[in-house]
A and B are shown apart, each in its own frame.
Chain A
Amino acid sequence: MGVGFVVGVLGCAILVHAAYSTIQYRGVLKIVEEEFSGPPMNVVAELLLGLALCMWAGLAVPTKFLSILPDSEENRIVSLPANLDFMIFNHRGKVLPTNTELKLKVQDF
């Protein structure tokens, strides 16, 4: 997550810088009273660089692909999970006396 994040932030910073350069370029064009046909070459290069960095970050940062084949190395099922049918509780309740003939005694207070 670390490197991809930094690359993404760097790409965005480059894009912001390109936006600022374009705003200034337009300001200059207004003074000279020319038409805006496209950003200057260096801004275009900056845009493409920023785009490339952000694209790399956009592909690298989200979680990597997990294999979906059931017989690949990381998908080996080793244990049965929480399924009540297979849970065995080994507790001391088994030594308590069980007398199914016990009845509740009615007590007079």
Chain B
Amino acid sequence: MAVLEDGTEKRSGENGDDMPIFNAENLQSNMKSIYYSRTFLSIIGGVVAGIWGFTGLMGFVFYFLIMATASLGFAAKAKFSIHKYFDCWNRILVDGFLGGLMSFVLFWTFAYDIVHIF
């Protein structure tokens, strides 16, 4: 695997293999940006679900709705030309989908308790 010694690590393929070359440092930065966004939106979604009074399955449905909207938002932020910023669609659609679930449930119960119980 040839690595170009010019500061930005590039991933390249062997001869004969047709693997795409991309700037891994920028890809990592983009992935971090998505991770922060998803975490923040999970927390906000949890607070909204708690205030709204969702219990049980409705809350999880709400979480998936929030994550789906977030994925749509990332696609829009990348101006729908995904291959310019990421190496495959999975990165923005599937990665980190369940990562915010714990934060969502935490803030959901937190907000529900504050608003509806105490």
The chain A residues found within 8 Å of chain B, CB to CB, are: 11-12, 15, 18-19, 22-23, 26, 36, 38-39, 43-44, 47, 50-51, 54-55, 58-59, 62-70, 72, 75, 77, 80-81, 83, 85
How big is the B interface, by class?
35 or more
Whether B56 is near chain A, meaning CB under 8 Å from some CB there, is: no
A-B contact count (CB 8 A): 111
Q: Is the CB of A81 within 8 A of B6?
A: yes
Nearest opposing residue in chain B for A37, CB measure = B53
Bound complex: CA of A39 vs CA of B51, how far in Å? 8
Q: Is the CB of B7 within 8 A of A77?
A: yes
- Other-chain contact of B37, A18, A19, A47, A62 (Cβ < 8 Å): A62
Q: Contacts A43-B51, A64-B77, A68-B87 given; 17 further ones with Cβ under 8 A?
A: A15-B44, A15-B47, A15-B51, A22-B51, A26-B116, A44-B52, A55-B41, A58-B70, A59-B70, A63-B33, A64-B33, A66-B26, A68-B24, A69-B22, A70-B22, A75-B23, A77-B6
Residues of chain A within 8 A (CB-CB) of B34 are: 62
Q: Is the CB of A65 within 8 A of B85?
A: yes
Residues of chain B within 8 A (CB-CB) of A11 are: 44
- Other-chain contact of A59, B6, B52, B77 (Cβ < 8 Å): B77
